[in-house]
Structure 1
Amino acid sequence: MSKSLALVSGLVVLSLAGCSSQLEKSTATGSYKYLKAEQQPKIQVPDELNQPEFSDEYALPTLGQGADKGLVGRDLRIVSPALVHPLVTGSHVQEGSEGAVVTFDQVDDRQPLSQAIWNAVKSFLDKQNVGISQFDEAQNVLVTDWFVLSEEVEDEDSPWYAWSSDIDAEKKRRFKFMLDVKPHGRTASLRTELVEFEQQLGDNTVTEINDFARHREEVDILNEVISHYEYQIQLDNNRRIAEIRQGLQTEMSFNKDGDPAILVKGQYDVVWPRMLLVLRKLGFDVKDLDKSTGLLFVTFNGDDDGWWNNLFSGDSELLDEGDYRLQIARSGDNTTVTFMDDESQPFTAKEVTDLYDPFSEVMTQDNLDI
């Protein structure tokens, strides 16, 4: 009997020890008797006596006009601040900015920055199965349909001895996303605002929340969008790396000016970074480059250890060591590569033909080291 009683007592103690609610974890500990305290007047000292020195070190500041005077005691949540997490490369939070807002700087020129941001927002909504209520592309404003979250939460009014204090809850939110694009188009700030809120707690419906809770909702949804944007970028980078490492077919051709060139059967944005790998493999050092113009300034040093040296220099004198330039240009869905000397004079058809085999051999190789 005593063993059974001890076992039951132990289970009761363990169950009570685990009953610390989410509310208790987010509120101040200790007594709330201070809520009933009244302001006491200062000590009155007769004028004929020496006056003591009073310190204002622990004086409480006066509440501002917009302060919520109801945030005291158990109604004041003690939680970490809601902070925007700028995870995306080129993103940051402006110092002194208010609200849920993040700023992006353009680091990828393949599409306009505003288009990339809106694509990320729409993709996130699609993943969450949330529709778009309104989208004004000219004004850069998007309003969502309802985000609906159903879960069981702890009933804060439930007595401590209740075996189960969980109640069904449904939280619904609608948000507005606003994009402020700088005139040059390479910097944009995405801001989030909560436009509607509704929470069903058992039989009770809540439609109003305080400013702190509102800010947390706005920051949380913005962080989810940023995280999704970063995830998309990583997927795209992995895909691009796979494309860059994949071999591309080539053929002899001409550039738009009629100069002899090598046609690479791949899009410009894939061929451009792959050219850096190919040139390194062929014994070139890239001194300078400009993707917007397609110019590469290189130095050929030869390769004493490889068979490229036998093709590019030595007795055959196909290519002397020195400085050269390459012009990379779009040609529909393909790309042309024009070899030039250090004075921008294109190579002759014979020179390009002599270089074609070693160039094509490397360009068509798979899994080049990055």
Structure 2
Amino acid sequence: MNRRTFYISLLTLAVSACSTVETRKQAKGEFDYVNEDVPQALIVPDNLTQPAKESEYNVPSLQGTAGPVGKELDIRAPSLVLALASGSRVDEFDKSAQIWFDKIDDDSDLQEVVVGAIENYLAEEGVDLTSKQGTKLESDWFHQETKSGFWLWEDVETSESWRFKYSLVTKPHGRSIGLNVDLIDYKSGNTSKIDPIEQQRVEMAMINAISAQIDYEYRLSLRDQRLARANRKVVSMSSDTDGKAAYLVDYPQQEFWELLPEFFEKYNFSVTDLDESKFVYMVSYERNDPSLWDGIWGEDVGVIELEDGSYEFHLERQNGKTLLTIFNDQQQVLSESVLENNFDIMSSALTFD
């Protein structure tokens, strides 16, 4: 799946839309005012009454008029950093980074996520990484190509080129990473100078492109996790160390312990006692056959085929999963035939994703 299915190349968009069309930099209208002379004040003979002079509309004297005027004045507003990625933010009070990324996935290293997004974005743009030293990375040249001529006589010309430095800012707690992007080299024809406004726009566009890449990769990760959960077999038949029948559930013991109350409430079990140190729930079960209305309103969750009475659910850790053994009120393990008879409904009931 190509990232461009979701995101336009923000860097290319910003550069091509703003740098190659001069009219986008200029105010609309004519610029004749640049050549206008300041009119002389009205001269009134001394023997006539001088007209009253109002100061309300006086134009104050300008200071520092050496800047660009007319067509040379770039009217574009500065570009903004966009918090496109989940967990990203712009902190106006912390100038150490242009954008911050907060950790939202405890299973991944945040710095590796950001660095990986930078490398993947460069790879998709066909640009190499020329330097990678700790928290600082440098790219090779990005080129904006323009074409001249047509068909067989069409030529590709390189009009502008950029190189960037990416700097990461880390927090001691490791749950936030800041990113700064600096334009370190520029070429356009025979010049290596770039307008400050243009430089700021290109740097902001690069930050936004990296932020979009991080968001895209995070969404892909979520999709892959959902597919993995949908395709995995959570519950299977097994046995304990004594050969007694049990369910093997694909959840860690602590997580499964915390999820089971949801199962009890939904399937008419009431928790009467528990021993968390041994991971044992003591419950009572009262069979409640679904009514016609439950089926109509979609509230029929099925019935577990057990006799009314007291049961114990014992959870045992086994290779990152949990072995669930169920005892009746006579402290007898439920037989394999009982577990198999209830396997379909228990498999669905014990899947919490």
Asked if structure 2 preserves the Cα contact closer than 8 Å seen for 1:175 and 1:194, the reply is yes
Cα distance in 2 for residues equivalent to 1:70 and 1:352: 90
Spell out the pairing of 1:56-75 with structure 2 (5 A cutoff): 69-75=66-72
Change (3 A) 1:220 1:327: farther
Spell out the pairing of 1:241-280 with structure 2 (5 A cutoff): 241-248=226-233, 250-252=236-238, 263-264=248-249, 279=263
Which among 178, 194, 205 is matched to residue 209 of structure 1? 194
**Aligned position for 2:344:** 361
Change (3 A) 1:128 1:283: farther
Identity of aligned residues (%): 19
Q: Is the aligned partner of 1:148 residue 2:148?
A: no
Asked if structure 1 preserves the Cα contact closer than 8 Å seen for 2:27 and 2:75, the reply is yes
Asked if structure 2 preserves the Cα contact closer than 8 Å seen for 1:150 and 1:168, the reply is yes
After TM superposition, the score normalised by the length of structure 1 is: 0.60
Spell out the pairing of 1:184-223 with structure 2 (5 A cutoff): 184-199=173-188, 204-223=189-208
Task: Give 3-state SS (helix, strand or coil) of 1:193's partner.
Answer: strand
Cα distance in 1 for residues equivalent to 2:182 and 2:199: 9
Asked if structure 1 preserves the Cα contact closer than 8 Å seen for 2:305 and 2:342, the reply is no
Which among 180, 198, 216 is matched to residue 231 of structure 1? 216
Q: Is the aligned partner of 1:35 residue 2:34?
A: yes
**Aligned position for 1:171:** 160
Query: 1:336-360 deviations in whole A, cap 9, x for unaligned?
Result: 36689xxxxxxx8837979965886
Task: Give 3-state SS (helix, strand or coil) of 2:75's partner.
Answer: coil
Cα distance in 1 for residues equivalent to 2:36 and 2:96: 35
Cα distance in 1 for residues equivalent to 2:164 and 2:171: 23
Asked if structure 1 preserves the Cα contact closer than 8 Å seen for 2:287 and 2:304, the reply is no
- Name the Cα RMSD after superposition: 5.1
Q: Which runs of 5+ in 1 are unaligned?
A: 1-20, 154-165, 286-294, 341-347
Task: Give 3-state SS (helix, strand or coil) of 2:173's partner.
Answer: coil
Query: 1:95-126 deviations in whole A, cap 9, x for unaligned?
Result: 25669821111111011211211111111112
After TM superposition, the score normalised by the length of structure 2 is: 0.63
Change (3 A) 1:210 1:350: same
Count of residue correspondences: 293
**Aligned position for 2:110:** 113
Asked if structure 2 preserves the Cα contact closer than 8 Å seen for 1:251 and 1:263, the reply is yes
Change (3 A) 1:307 1:74: closer
Query: 1:127-152 deviations in whole A, cap 9, x for unaligned?
Result: 11211111112xx1111111122124
Spell out the pairing of 1:33-112 with structure 2 (5 A cutoff): 33-36=32-35, 54=56, 69-95=66-92, 101-112=98-109
**Aligned position for 2:122:** 125
Q: Is the aligned partner of 1:309 residue 2:300?
A: no
Change (3 A) 1:250 1:216: same
Cα distance in 1 for residues equivalent to 2:28 and 2:55: 33
Shift of 1:180: 0.6
